[in-house]
Amino acid sequence: MSEEATAAKATILIYSDDRSVRDAIKVAMGRRVAADLPEISVVECATYQAAIKTLDAGGIDLVIADGEAAPLGGMGLCRQAKDEIANCPPVLLLVQRVADAWLATWSRADAVVPYPIDPVRLPTPVAELLRERLGKRATVS
């Protein structure tokens, strides 16, 4: 990995109204989700208004959205972001029930992971989405 790639960070927006969920996501990901990816920089948003404002500002490589957040869940946030944000970053949706995964189709989520937040299971889809996003960004730049 080049020095430039090592210095860069992947910025992940975590959306949840529950601080313990945001903390569990950060712990599960650690500082780096895969050896071939840059370190992670996390932006936390507890409200959907803050999440949309942050996405509008740009610079986000991935969104992890809590499907159980209130008053607007991660599915609603994902749908709104996909409709309104130019070059919307990929969205990984956390769902309480595996049966809710079909709703991700409506929300246009790029990946779905069921609760509980698992430090073994979560990093893999995060890494896959970041590889795709960062690879595209590198070829566009």
CATH numeric code, 3-140:
3.40.50.2300
The pLDDT confidence band at residue 4, using thresholds 50, 70 and 90, is very low
Provide the 3-class DSSP secondary structure of residue 113.
Answer: strand
9 has a pLDDT exceeding 70: yes
Q: Is the dihedral of CA 36, 121, 134, 43 positive or negative?
A: negative
Provide the 3-class DSSP secondary structure of residue 44.
Answer: strand
Q: What does the pLDDT look like over 11-61, one tens digit per residue?
A: 999 999 999 999 999 999 999 999 999 999 999 999 999 999 999 999 999
For 104, counting Cβ atoms within 10 Å of its Cβ (0-12 exposed, 13-18 middle, 19+ buried), the class is buried
Round to whole Å and give the CA distance between 36 and 39.
10
Domain positions in the chain are 3-140
Q: What does the pLDDT look like over 61-112, one tens digit per residue?
A: 999 999 999 999 999 999 999 999 989 999 999 998 776 667 777 889 999 9
